[in-house]
Amino acid sequence: MAKNKLNKNWLHDHINDPYVKQAQKDGFRARAAYKLKEIDEAEKLIKPGQVIVDLGCTPGSWAQYTRRKLSGKEGGGITGTIIGLDLLPMEPIADVHYIQGDFREDVVLDQLATVLEGRKTDLVLSDMAPNLSGIPTADAARMEHLIDLAIEFSQMHLKPGGALLVKCFKDMGFTQIVEKFRTEFKTVKQIKPKASRDKSSEIFLLGRGLKNPVEYKSGSERGAALDI
Give helix then strand counts, H and E, for the chain: 8, 7
Q: Give pLDDT, residue 42.
A: 97
Residue 167 annotated in active site: yes
Give the model's pLDDT for residue 19.
92
Cis peptide before 59 (omega within 30 of 0): yes
Report d(CA 138, CA 145) in Å as an integer: 11
Identified catalytic residue from 35, 37, 167, 180 = 167
pLDDT at 63: 98
Average pLDDT over residues 173-193: 96
Work out the average pLDDT over 153-160: 95
- The predicted model gives 135-153 an average pLDDT of 93
| Annotated binding residues for S-adenosyl-L-methionine | 60, 62, 86, 102, 127
Query: What is d(CA 15, CA 39) in angstroms, rounded to the nearest whole number?
Result: 24
Which residues line the annotated binding site?
60, 62, 86, 102, 127
pLDDT(216) > 80: no
Cross-strand partners of 99: 85
Query: Which structural domains are found in the chain, ordered by start?
Result: 31-227 (3.40.50.150)
Q: What is the mean pLDDT of the chain?
A: 88
For the stretch 71-100, pLDDT in tens is: 855 556 899 999 999 999 999 999 999 999
Question: CB-based burial of residue 172 (10 Å sphere; 0-12 exposed, 13-18 middle, 19+ buried)?
Answer: buried
